[in-house]
Amino acid sequence: MKKKTAFLFSTALLFVFTSLFSAPKEDAVIIDGGKNGVKFETIQKSQLNNSGGPVTRVQIPLKAMTTADKDKWIRNVSVELTVVYRDEKAKKKDTSFLVFKSSAKLFAIKVGQTTPVQFFIPWEAYEIYGLKNAPCAWRINLKVSGEPVEWTKSNIDSFFYMESSLMKKVTDLKAAYDAFEELVKKSAGYNENVMVPLPLAPFSIRYYQCYRNSGEVVPTYIVNSQ
């Protein structure tokens, strides 16, 4: 059963490539730099006060594009992030996965300006699961004023990544996608609220992010948006 789940997981997002493509159009918000703009980094223990180990930071650079009414601001931008790691410490032979899911909502971002959104996986999870910098897969969903930014041929690489080793034979793609969603729900529930956006991170992380990186723009998060 584990092998079947792992296989379905590995083929799941191929369903997205074949079924969710729509006609190209200009998006209100993009991920600046596409897939390469999304960064998974380690903040070392020595850089943080009162931390028992390193912290994983995920940074998503959002860029607001020109709006239809030529406004200078885009309001109510929501970011949902799902990150998948292999469970490196799993004792069973079959591959198992760890799923972290979180969301954040920004009050507004300025047109033409790159605005970084950060999520953090705490040092306890880093130690418990033996997480590495790079996950084996991740997915980003964006909404602007409640409306999803659609995945298209031109932007798919910005919103989804999966290791090539997980892209294997394809059978029933719809069933694979449904299985992936179910796996995410179960795993994300187990690690619910472990990964958090900047405002909900411990004080030492917020201090590091806001004061030691004073050159970066810190957007206004709507905290009760999860």
Is residue 222 scored above 70 in pLDDT? yes
Alpha helices in the chain, H assignment, sequence order: 2-12, 14-19, 123-129, 156-159, 173-190, 203-211
Q: Per-residue DSSP letters for the chain?
A: -HHHHHHHHHHHTHHHHHHS-------SEEETTGGGG-EEEEE-GGGSTT-SS-EEEEEEEEEE---TT--SEEEEEEEEEEEEEE-TT--SSS--EEEEEEEEEEEEEEBT-EEEEEEEE-HHHHHHHT--SS-SEEEEEEEETTEE----TTTHHHHEEE-GGG----S-HHHHHHHHHHHHHHHHHHTTTTSEEGGGS-HHHHHHHHHTTTTS----B-GGG-
What pLDDT digit, counting tens, does each position of 35-47 carry?
A: 888 999 998 988 8
What pLDDT digit, counting tens, does each position of 153-166 carry?
A: 778 778 888 776 66
Exposure pattern of 115-127 as b/e (b: 16+ CB <10 Å)?
Answer: bbbbbbbbbebbe
Secondary structure class of 51 (helix, strand, coil): coil
What would the mean pLDDT of 25-43 be, rounded to a whole number? 86
What would the mean pLDDT of 77-94 be, rounded to a whole number? 81
> What is the C-alpha to C-alpha distance for residues 77 and 148, in angstroms, rounded to an integer?
10
What would the mean pLDDT of 140-159 be, rounded to a whole number? 84
The DSSP letter of residue 34 is G
Is residue 214 scored above 70 in pLDDT? no
Q: 173-190 and 2-12 helices cross at what angle (nearest 10)?
A: 110
What pLDDT digit, counting tens, does each position of 98-142 carry?
A: 899 999 999 999 998 899 999 999 999 888 888 866 888 888 999
Q: Are 103 and 78 in contact (CB under 8 A)?
A: yes
What would the mean pLDDT of 64-87 be, rounded to a whole number? 85
Range scoring the smallest mean pLDDT among 19-23, 39-43, 165-169, 175-179: 19-23
Of the CA atoms within 13 Å of residue 172, those in its CB half-sphere come to: 7
Instruction: Look at the block and give the residue holding tokens 């810190």.
Output: 218
